Copies of this chain bind each other. A is one copy, B any other.
Amino acid sequence: MNLAELTKTQSIPTKKGKNFTAIDAGKFADLFQYELQHPLRDKPVYGKLFIKDHLDLNSMQVSLNRLPAGIAVPFTHKHKANEELYIFIGGKGQIQIDGEIIDVQEGSCIRVAPDGDRSWRNNSESDLYYIVIQGREHSLKGDTFDDGIPGEQPVKW
C-alpha cells in the first residue's frame, strides 16, 4: 500500500537528487488540502499528510497534522514494532497513553513505546498542529555525533 497514492487531491511536486528528495507540503494551516483514506476509518481524513512515500524515506514514517478545534481521534492504537514520537508545534490539546492524560502545547514532545495504548484530542478552541514520527524500536545505533562526518571543503553559497 503506497501512501503517496492514498493521498489524493493534488500530487505534490518532488525534487530529487542523487542523495536527496524534497517536497514543499505547504503551510501547516493548509494541510486540509490533503485527503487520506485511513484504513481504520470509513470516511476520508483531512489534515494528515504522510510523507514517507513522497520522500523515499526508509528509516521513518512521518505525518504532518492539523487537528481542528474540538476534534478527538476516535480510537486508541498501539504498534507492533515501531516507536512513535509526537512533537506539538502549535495550539493546545491532550494526549493519553495507557489512560494517563497529558496536556500538550507548542514544544511538547512525547515518546510512546510500541505497547503504549494512545489517543489524542484537540479540546481547545483553535487548531492543533503536530508532527508524528515512527521508527523501528531499538534501530538507532551508536552516538549521535559519531555518525556525522565533517565535510572536507568549506561551505560555498
Please determine whether B105 and A83 come into contact, CB atoms closer than 8 angstroms: no
Q: Which of A101-115 contact B (CB under 8 A)?
A: 101-102, 105-113, 115
Please determine whether A19 and B50 come into contact, CB atoms closer than 8 angstroms: no
Please determine whether A60 and B148 come into contact, CB atoms closer than 8 angstroms: no
A17-B100 Cα distance, complex, nearest whole Å: 8
Residues in B neighbouring A110, C-beta threshold 8 A = 20-22, 55
How many protomers of this protein does the assembly include?
2
Of A59, A79, A107, most B-chain CB atoms within 10 Å: A59
Classify chain A: how many residues form its interface, as a range: 35 or more
A138 at the interface (CB under 8 A from B): yes
Q: Which of A1-50 contact B (CB under 8 A)?
A: 1, 3, 15, 17-28, 30, 38-40, 50
A114-149 vs B: 1/0 string, CB under 8 Å? Answer: 011101010100000001011111111111111111
Please, which residue of chain B has its CB at the minimum distance from the CB of A89?
Answer: B89
Please determine whether B85 and A55 come into contact, CB atoms closer than 8 angstroms: yes
Q: Which A-B residue pairs are the 6 nearest by beta carbons?
A: A59-B135, A76-B151, A19-B116, A139-B139, A55-B111, A19-B113
A55-79 vs B: 1/0 string, CB under 8 Å? Answer: 1111111101000000011111111
Residues in B neighbouring A59, C-beta threshold 8 A = 60, 82-83, 134-140
Residues in B neighbouring A27, C-beta threshold 8 A = 106-107
Question: Given known contacts A105-B24, A151-B119, is B140 in contact with A136 (CB within 8 Å)?
Answer: yes
